[in-house]
A and B are shown apart, each in its own frame.
Chain A
């Protein structure tokens, strides 16, 4: 009989323990369920956050794509501008070279015309024209003809090369040969290339207004010169005007000076008598 209460007590104790265990299990289960609830809520929150972030990200991507497109357009525009400016720059550099070249030619023309008009001696004027043709134009063989109005012929006044040997008495009749035709018509003649020996590559009339007073014929250029440029043509035509004036004025001065000296000599003779 005494064993029964002990057993009962043990049973109670065990059932208490079991109960306690169930209670703990229940609490733990409740805790788990609460945690589960919390986690589910958190998942919903995170899902929502994810959706929000995804929307933001998409919007950001779209914005960046748009920006990228705009930047690409800008880059294309800048690239185009850069090429335009580069081309403009090249054009300006080319124009600078041209202006510099023209400047040089103007300086050449200035010095040449200054020298041409610095003397009243016909011989010095002819020498000056020769120097210009050799040093500034680059002529190797040329002839400077002046008009003999009495015979209507061109007379060779200065030359370089073999032209004198080729001409009969150093004269060319008006209308004969290229020199004569140029003198008759009064228009300059240029060929594209430097001619072979004896072939005219430039022939320019020396004119005072419409009156032809001479002709410059270039037969051959210096080997390294190659050809006459458009600027050479201009320079030659401008120089021709100055050369014509210088030649005529020096000739007139020489004639007048000679006459004056004759008259002075005559007068002094009269005074002596």
Chain B
């Protein structure tokens, strides 16, 4: 199994830690291969400079929110191939639709089920 690089974007350190702890249970993902970003702007810089196989992002964040980040990745960086999962407290159908229209490949509402997250990540990484 090849190693996969992931980017976790959330302003909550606790939630980032939680995601990392859950994701390292998957084959091919180690703590060293998970990069963390605290907002959309930070994440955008990291996507520009690094090579990631998957991005997980929150929506409500300071400086640049998750939707703007997804939009910029898709349209400014032209990274249409990069799988992005939105994980947000906004769980209404409209929010999900908006997120998917922006170009996200998956959407999970907080509080999330970690097994559901791992399932989605596995699918998007094509394991």
Contact = CB atoms under 8 A, between A and B. Distances in A.
A271 interface: no
Given A131-B12, A135-B89, A222-B91, A111 B114 contact: no
Contacts of B111: 135-138, 225
B109 A224 contact: yes
Name which of B13, B111, B113 has the most chain A CB atoms within 10 A of its CB.
B111
Contacts of B13: 115, 128, 131
Contacts of A222: 89, 91, 109-110
Contact of B110 (A107, A115, A134): A134
B20 to A, nearest CB: 9
Interface residues of B, number: 17
B12 to A, nearest CB: 4
Nearest to B117: A104
B14 A223 contact: no
Contacts of A135: 12, 14-15, 18, 89, 110-111
A104 B113 contact: yes
Interface in A155-177: none
B77 interface: no
B91 A223 contact: yes
Contacts, number: 58
Interface in B1-42: 12-15, 17-18, 21-22
Interface string B87-113: 001011000000000000000011101
Name which of B12, B14, B92, B109 has the most chain A CB atoms within 10 A of its CB.
B14
B63 interface: no
A225 B89 CA distance: 10
A104 B115 contact: yes
Nearest to A104: B114
Size class of the A contact interface (CB-based, 8 Å): 20 to 34
Contacts of A245: none
A107 B18 contact: yes
Contact of A111 (B14, B91, B113): B14
A147 interface: no
Nearest to A135: B15
Interface string B61-102: 000000000000000000000000000010110000000000
A236 to B, nearest CB: 12
A115 to B, nearest CB: 4
A108 B18 contact: yes
A100 interface: yes
Given A222-B109, A223-B91, A100 B115 contact: yes
A115 B115 contact: no
Nearest to A235: B111
Contact of A223 (B21, B92, B113): B92
A22 interface: no
Contact of A224 (B14, B17, B92, B113): B92
Interface of A: 100, 104, 107-108, 110-112, 114-115, 128, 131-132, 134-138, 140, 222-225
Given A131-B14, A222-B110, 8 more contacts: A108-B18, A111-B18, A112-B14, A128-B13, A135-B14, A136-B18, A224-B109, A225-B111
20 contacts: A107-B18, A110-B21, A111-B14, A111-B17, A111-B18, A112-B14, A112-B18, A114-B17, A115-B14, A115-B17, A131-B13, A131-B14, A131-B15, A135-B14, A135-B89, A136-B14, A136-B18, A137-B111, A222-B109, A225-B91
